[in-house]
Amino acid sequence: MATSNSTAPSDISDAPPDAGTAWEELVTSALLGTDRRRPQVSVGPGQDLPGALLDAAAVETVRRRAGLRPTSAAVLPERAAPDTRPPLPAAARRRLALLLTDRPGAGGGRRSTAPDLTELLPQWLALANDHGYAAPAELLPALLDAARGRTDLRPQALRFAGPRALWLARLNPDWKFALRTAPGGKGLPDTGDAEAVQRLWEEGLFAERVALLAAVRVDAPEVARELLGGSWSTERAEDRLMFLDSLRAGLSDGDESFLERALSDRSRNIRATAAELLSALPNSALAARMADRASSCVAMDPTRSAITVEAPHACDAAMERDGVVSQAPSGRGQRAWWLGQLVESTPLAAWSARLGGRSAEEITALPVHDDWRPELHAAWCRAAVRQRDAVWARALLGVPSAPEAGGPGAVSLAERAKLLAVLPGTERADWVAGFIDAHGLSEAFQLLGVCTLPWSGKLGRAVVDALNIARDAGSYPWSFSGVMGLAERCLDPAETSRLESLTAISDEPEDGAPGAVGYWAEAFQRLVGTLNLRAAMAAELTPREAVDIPA
């Protein structure tokens, strides 16, 4: 505000100011102070100069606003495409509004018995999409904001949001991700429109080009390869790597020729990725070359009762071109490192002929000379995962009740989880249930994470029984917080009746942790509340005519 330490000077004229007094002059006087820059304004009786300046500024503001010339109205946007899907039931609409407004607690604590609604939103969206409902228009902004902050929500959220989400995304740059990832978005033309596809491939942003390549690959894999091959030599190395990685989806023998060319790329990462993809094609020339190399290293011993291993003594240029990394990581022997890469890139079907016609289960049961067994079996694990071979995955996992559930070749929990992901969903759940029955929950978190949803009855009962045993042992529940979180999202709500008795606070065991019983009761109350909420969500989304209403 303009200030002055004196009253209005007597030598300033009381004449009205020039009607053209510039706004900039008034602003300058206000910033510098009226004692340093005297404005040409009229000072009324009993008024000081700063007050006169503010009055003049007010008058000038009104004059400036009143003097604005009218402009042409902006062109209204086109109407959004209609969404012909049925509307959400009222109860489900209210539930969605609640899920979208819930925010995680700032402290991150889980002492509350209230369900974590943010973790239930993905399940709600999946259920709503299964029923084919349309999103309420008034909740679309909140839904898009949620999808903007959580990439895991985007596929289901954009499918549920429908064409109106694209309409909104064109008006708000914060939601432009929808245009690149949703079907019908501005960034993804019809894959049958060759001209539009080529134009976007040549002119689009990198994210748009990745999405385009994935979309075209679904409908016309050969066209996607032509797009990629046409610009391959001019792409940046990091972009080539991302494009190459997108070929994992729908990988087929038709990709072999392009991948063979990529083996000569100047980037080591691209060569390695191309070699990995080729090794996942059992009929590829690279797979045959790797099989020849590996078969010279692994054979039956003279007694035909054990496996003998002679690891490579060198890594030549041909091996490096086929993706073998010559320099071993710290702590790994060079020869063992080379052997593992050869074996994991060899088609698993080749080992039966090489090792006396034995099955995968018989091969993995054979002893291996000179302590090569861990290295050999670990490479077979990686090969089973890469080639999606359920027979070998089953053989390497072994029975879940084995000591430490190590199986013949699974040397870590991470490898066991990857092998399990190769198996059918029901078999996967049964194996993990057997593991929990034999070994408890202390190592089960990674294995539970690969099981299909909702958990089968057998797996759910195994988890509940193991939690009950842990509670009776007097341990703290936060030792199993990860499993509890998974149970809230994955346990079948039908298991709620088996949990009701666990929500009560029982007597603490003498050797138990202080206060653990109360914590367990709270954790089980939250679990029951979450399961009841999930059951209510499913009921709210079920069409009325599909519900059996008793007479």
Give the pLDDT of residue 188.
66
User: DSSP of 450-494, one letter per residue?
Assistant: TS-SSPPHHHHHHHHHHHHHHHHTT--GGGGHHHHHHHHHHS-GG
Helix (H, G, I), strand (E, B) or coil at 197: helix
Find all residues with CB under 8 Å of 205, minimum gap 6, and list them: 180, 187
pLDDT band (50, 70, 90) for residue 274: very high
Rg, the chain, Cα only: 34
Please determine, for residue 312, whether its predicted confidence score (pLDDT) is greater than 90. Answer: yes
Give the pLDDT of residue 5.
42
Distance CA 118, CA 458 (A): 27
What's the per-residue H, E or C state across 237-271? HHHHHHHHHHHHCCCCHHHHHHHHHHCCCCCHHHH
Give the pLDDT of residue 103.
55
Bridge partners, residue 307, by sequence:
300, 368
Please determine, for residue 457, whether its predicted confidence score (pLDDT) is greater than 70. Answer: yes
> C-alpha dihedral over 317, 318, 321, 325, to 10 degrees?
-60
Q: Mean pLDDT over residues 317-323, rounded?
A: 93
Tokens of 443: 């190592």
Find all residues with CB under 8 Å of 218, minimum gap 6, and list them: 191, 250
* pLDDT tens sequence across 488-501: 999 999 888 888 77
Please determine, for residue 311, whether its predicted confidence score (pLDDT) is greater than 50. Answer: yes
506, 517 Cβ separation under 8 angstroms: yes
> C-alpha dihedral over 53, 54, 55, 60, to 10 degrees?
90
Distance CA 314, CA 436 (A): 44
Give the pLDDT of residue 404.
54
Please determine, for residue 277, whether its predicted confidence score (pLDDT) is greater than 50. Answer: yes
pLDDT band (50, 70, 90) for residue 1: very low
Give the pLDDT of residue 355.
95
Distance CA 480, CA 492 (A): 19
pLDDT band (50, 70, 90) for residue 301: very high
Give the pLDDT of residue 65.
80
Please determine, for residue 55, whether its predicted confidence score (pLDDT) is greater than 70. Answer: yes
Whole-number mean pLDDT of the chain? 85
Choice among 26-35, 168-177, 322-331, 542-551 with the minimum mean pLDDT: 542-551
Choice among 25-39, 104-118, 365-379, 425-439 with the minimum mean pLDDT: 104-118
Q: Mean pLDDT over residues 39-58, rounded?
A: 89
Which carries the bigger pLDDT value, residue 352 or residue 523? 352
- The alpha helices in 20-139, defined as continuous H runs, are 23-32, 49-66, 90-101, 121-131
Q: Mean pLDDT: which of 292-301, 394-403, 451-460 is highest? A: 292-301
pLDDT band (50, 70, 90) for residue 2: very low
197, 212 Cβ separation under 8 angstroms: yes
Q: Mean pLDDT over residues 199-226, rounded?
A: 86
384, 423 Cβ separation under 8 angstroms: no
What's the per-residue H, E or C state across 279-291? HCCCCCHHHHHHH
User: What is the percentage of the chain residues whose pLDDT exceeds 70?
Assistant: 86
Give the pLDDT of residue 506.
61
Please determine, for residue 160, whether its predicted confidence score (pLDDT) is greater than 70. Answer: yes
Q: Mean pLDDT over residues 34-55, rounded?
A: 89
Please determine, for residue 7, whether its predicted confidence score (pLDDT) is greater than 50. Answer: no
Give the pLDDT of residue 15.
38
Please determine, for residue 377, whether its predicted confidence score (pLDDT) is greater than 80. Answer: yes
Distance CA 417, CA 397 (A): 10
Please determine, for residue 25, whether its predicted confidence score (pLDDT) is greater than 60. Answer: yes
149, 124 Cβ separation under 8 angstroms: no
Give the pLDDT of residue 350.
96
Total count of residues recorded for the chain: 551
Give the pLDDT of residue 283.
93
* pLDDT tens sequence across 72-114: 878 888 888 889 999 999 999 999 999 998 755 433 344 566 7
Please determine, for residue 511, whether its predicted confidence score (pLDDT) is greater than 70. Answer: no
Q: Mean pLDDT over residues 377-398, rounded?
A: 95
> C-alpha dihedral over 318, 323, 327, 330, to 10 degrees?
-160
pLDDT band (50, 70, 90) for residue 268: confident
Distance CA 260, CA 284 (A): 9
* pLDDT tens sequence across 399-448: 898 765 455 555 578 889 999 999 999 999 999 999 999 988 888 888 99
Choice among 433-447, 506-520, 522-536 with the minimum mean pLDDT: 506-520
